[in-house]
Amino acid sequence: MSEPSSLPFDPTVQRSTHRISTVIATTAETEDLLRAEGETPVELLRLGRLASFYRDAAGQLPRVLGLRDLDPATLAFRRGAATGAVVRAGRLWLFDVQAGPIVAVLSLDIDCEPRTLIPFLEDLYYDDVAVGESTLAGCASEVLTGAGVAVRSGGEPLGLTAQRHQMVFTSVVLDEDTVQRLVYRADLDWRPNYSSIQYPAELNRRPTSAAAVGAYVCVLAAQQDYIENCALLSVVQVVGAIRQVRQIRLATFDTLVRVRELAAGRTTLTAAERRTELARLHEAMAEHELRLTFGVEAACEIGILIPALRIESFHRQLVASTGLRDNLATVSGMLTRAASVLAAEEASQAAGDAQRAEGRRLRYGVVVGLLSVVAVPVGIILAFFGGNYRQVDEDRSMFDWAHYHGVYLAVGALLLASAAVFLALYWHDRRQLRRTVGTRAGGG
């Protein structure tokens, strides 16, 4: 955010304070799934010599929806209030990421010793901070409303989720013990052999700069300001992707449960209702696949968009430390299996529909045949009584049962036989359909 230097290269930051940036995925999403809204970060963040790369890839990287400078005097902390630290400045950012949620970033400049940042990290991670009379979520909602961005209507106010990552920026290289206390947000001793902290090679190549990445906190020490800003954008993108993975996992599980319920509810739902629900689930699965591809898989690599060793090194280490790629593989497998179950249920439904259609054709054929069978005996009776046969007595009515019962019994027997054939075929068709459906439901 500082002015460009006249030196052949940018110097490292010289802030007298330490900066904490807490990146939090929210529950809000913009309406357009594949297009991030807002301004390009180049307009508001200094990205140095990498600005052109971010500008060219603006459609696939985080964009700024809005920001608000906060009065430090209005900020209240639960744990940080007991320290002697002084908050010098605060700023709340809202970013939009492609195929992901809106991400909030609260950045604070704090004047204190490095270890004194730990209580503030704890407060920010667990939302134990207030902005005047409002919560952090309420303040973020106000910024979003002021930005005038169309969001998906869910009926719920903007909320802060558990998907978050914190960044500590400092102008001095810290010793390894202090770094681990910040990364684990605990002022405790450690055994280095049992730590999961990673150190991006390219950001630790110079002896005057350092960086450490943990699953939930990373520390950048004595880096150039545009490197800090690029790292922040990487964290925004990864946090948004983690949120997407979680949402897709929950939705995929719900889809699988619903498919099982449809399989068990064959006798309670009509075929039309089941077809409608299966089509809806199929569309939902397609959207999950789309989100996973553009909102998560695309976030795992940044080198193809930003060809810079330090940014690529940090981004890959961040993805590895947060477990994003492993979670992506797990959810991809869940989606594949859920899609297979859905496809099997759709095939079962199609087979049932075909069998019902075949049954209807058979019954219609039987009805036509039955009508023919009825018409033939009636014709026989009419021909019998209309003919000049010696069995026909002109002085008797054709409805004289005592005299003509043999003829009527013969015709009635033909009609009963036809009806029996129809009922037998109908019963056999229903029995076969129930047996087929029951077998699929039990095996599904």
Mark which of 204, 236, 268 sits at the end of a domain.
236
| Cα three-residue angle 281-286-287, rounded to 5 degrees | 100
Residues 314 and 326 in one domain: yes
First and final C-alpha spacing in the chain: 59
Same domain, 348 and 359: no
The reported pTM is 0.79
Per 3-state DSSP, what percentage of the chain is helix, strand, and coil (rounded to 5)?
55, 15, 30
> How far is C-alpha 373 from the geometric centre of its chain's CA atoms?
61
The residues, ordered by sequence, that sit 6+ positions from 343 with a Cβ below 8 Å of its Cβ are none
> Tell me, what's the pLDDT at 404?
63
- The answer to whether residue 292 sits within a structural domain is yes
Clarify whether residues 190 and 121 are in a common domain.
yes
In a domain, 1, yes or no: no
3 part of a folded domain: no
Task: Kindly state whether residue 177 falls inside one of the protein's structural domains.
Answer: yes
Q: Within this chain, do residues 427 and 345 fall inside the same structural domain, yes or no?
A: no
- Report pLDDT for 367: 65
Query: What sections of 196-270 are H helices per DSSP?
Result: 225-264
Q: Are residues 340 and 329 in the same domain?
A: yes
Q: Residue 118's domain spans which residues?
A: 18-236
What are the average pLDDT values for consecutive 10-residue runs of the chain, which has 444 residues?
57 93 95 83 93 92 95 96 95 92 96 96 96 94 90 78 96 95 95 93 94 97 96 97 93 86 71 81 87 90 94 96 94 88 77 69 66 63 59 59 68 73 73 62 46
84 within a domain of the structure (yes/no): yes
What pLDDT does 48 receive?
Answer: 92
What is the tens place of the pLDDT at every residue in 300-335? 999 999 999 999 999 999 999 999 999 999 999 988
Number of structural domains found in the chain: 3
For residue 198, the cross-strand partners are 213
131 and 186 co-located in one domain:
yes
253 and 227 assigned to the same domain: no
| The pLDDT value given to residue 443 | 46
Residues 89 and 199 in one domain: yes
Give yes or no: residues 34 and 129 share one domain: yes
Residues 194 and 281 in one domain: no
Last residue of a domain, one of 236, 271, 304: 236
Q: Are 322 and 382 part of one and the same domain?
A: no
Residues 161, 189, single domain; the answer is: yes
Among 236, 267, 300, the domain-final residue is 236
